[in-house]
């Protein structure tokens, strides 16, 4: 799957809830995981591959064998504050610290439609919050100062020209 690159306007679209849990959804999740691993990254939202559905995949395991799939994720509790340097597959080469909740509890569904809750802290917490932002049409650089955003935008446009 092709990962959209910032400032692509499609990254600002808001994802729709998933209501059908079928084989097509399982195939999409599998394709997203394959894309994330190949990139390589630790998280990917469906909106980053131009699928406007509330689907997140992540895998922080060393062996890349413990994927977490969150469908229709919703943060239901937060506590603490953390600043961890983030990167994004849609904004390659850019790493910045963003303020996030240190601990979160998320309700979601798995790819079979079964509801569950997950508690996360540290990098997993940051990753999930980052990907949920994508589902809401927000890219992490939008948390940064206007000056940093302008510099990143110029760099991304230059990279896009070089790829052509």
Q: Which residues, in sequence order, are CB contacts of 127 under 8 Å at separation 6+?
A: 42, 43, 58, 60
Do residues 132 and 75 touch, judged by C-beta distance below 8 A? yes
Asked about 131 being catalytic, the answer comes back as yes
Cα-to-chain-centroid distance, residue 61: 16
Partners of 104 in beta bridges: 78, 120
Catalytic residue among 62, 86, 131, 162: 131
In whole angstroms, give the CA distance from residue 119 to residue 101: 12
Active site members: 131
């Amino acid at each position: 799957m092709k990962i959209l690159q910032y400032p692509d306007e499609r990254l600002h679209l808001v994802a729709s809830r998933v209501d059908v849990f079928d084989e097509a959804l399982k195939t999409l999740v599998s394709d997203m995981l394959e894309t994330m691993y190949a990139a390589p990254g630790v998280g990917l939202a469906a909106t980053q591959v131009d699928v406007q559905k509330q689907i997140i995949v992540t895998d922080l395991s060393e062996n890349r064998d413990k994927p977490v799939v969150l469908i229709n994720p919703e943060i239901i509790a937060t506590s603490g504050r953390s600043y961890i340097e983030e990167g994004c597959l849609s904004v390659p080469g850019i790493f910045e610290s963003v303020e996030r909740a240190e601990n979160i509890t998320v309700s979601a569904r798995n790819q079979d439609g079964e509801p569950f809750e997950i508690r996360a802290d540290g990098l997993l917490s940051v990753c999930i919050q980052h990907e949920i932002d994508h589902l809401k049409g927000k890219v992490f650089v939008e948390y940064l100062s206007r000056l940093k955003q302008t510099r990143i935008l110029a760099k991304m446009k230059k990279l896009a020209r070089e790829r052509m």
